[in-house]
Copies of this chain bind each other. A is one copy, B any other.
Amino acid sequence: MALTNASAGDPAKSSLTPYNADFFNLHRGASSLCLFPTATEQVSEILKYCNKEMLAVVPQGGNTGVSGGANPVFDEIIINTSKMNQIRSFNDISGIAVVDAGVILESLDNYLEPLGYTVPLDLGAKGSCQLGGNVSTNAGGLRLMRFGNLHGNVLGLEVVLPDGTILDNLSTLRKDNTGYDLKQLFIGAEGTLGLITGVSLLTPRRPKSVNLAMLALDSFEDIQKAFVMAKEDLSEILSAFEFWDDASMNLVKRVTLPDATYPIEAKSKFYALLETQGSRQEHDQEKLDAYLSRVMEADVAHDGVIAQDAKQIQALWQWRETIPEAIVKSGTAMTYDVSMDVKLLYKMVEDAKKHYNDRGLLGDGNVYYNVIGFGHVGDGNLHIMANIKGFDYSVQKDMDRFVYDWAIKHKGSITAEHGVGVAKVGYMEECKSEPQLRLMRSIKHALDPHGIMNPYKVVPGVLDV
6 tightest Cβ-Cβ pairs between the two chains A and B: A152-B152, A184-B184, A176-B413, A235-B279, A175-B416, A148-B152
For the complex, give the distance between the alpha carbons of A284 and B104 in Å. 36
User: How extensive is the interface on chain A, given as a class?
Assistant: 35 or more
The verdict on A46 contacting chain B, using a C-beta distance below 8 Å, is no
CB-defined contacts of A149 to chain B, threshold 8 Å: 152, 174-175
Q: Nearest chain B CB to A336's CB is how many angstroms away?
A: 13
The verdict on A70 contacting chain B, using a C-beta distance below 8 Å, is no
Contact pattern, A 288-326, Cβ under 8 Å of B = 1, otherwise 0: 000000000000000000000000000000000000000
Q: What are 10 A-B contacts defined by CB distance under 8 Å? A: A93-B228, A116-B232, A167-B435, A175-B381, A176-B416, A180-B459, A207-B236, A236-B237, A236-B278, A442-B446
In the complex, besides A173-B380, A173-B412, 10 extra interface pairs with C-beta distance below 8 angstroms are: A137-B177, A138-B181, A165-B438, A174-B339, A175-B380, A177-B419, A179-B428, A179-B458, A180-B458, A442-B447
Chain A residues packing against B (C-beta within 8 Å)? 91-95, 116, 137-138, 140, 144-145, 148-149, 151-153, 161, 165-169, 171-182, 184-185, 187-189, 193, 204-205, 207-208, 224, 227-228, 231-237, 277-280, 283, 286-287, 339-343, 376, 378-381, 411-420, 424, 428, 431-433, 435-436, 438-440, 442-443, 445-447, 458-459
CB atoms of A233 and B279 under 8 A apart: yes
CB-defined contacts of A231 to chain B, threshold 8 Å: 95, 205
CB-defined contacts of A93 to chain B, threshold 8 Å: 224, 227-228, 342-343
Q: Which of A207, A279, A342, A433 has the most CB of B within 10 A?
A: A279
Q: Which of A173, A178, A445 has the most CB of B within 10 A?
A: A178
CB atoms of B168 and A415 under 8 A apart: no
CB-defined contacts of A179 to chain B, threshold 8 Å: 188, 420, 428, 432, 436, 440, 458-459
Q: Nearest chain B CB to A437's CB is how many angstroms away?
A: 8
CB atoms of B182 and A439 under 8 A apart: yes
Known contacts A435-B167, A459-B179, A340 near B173 by CB under 8 Å: yes
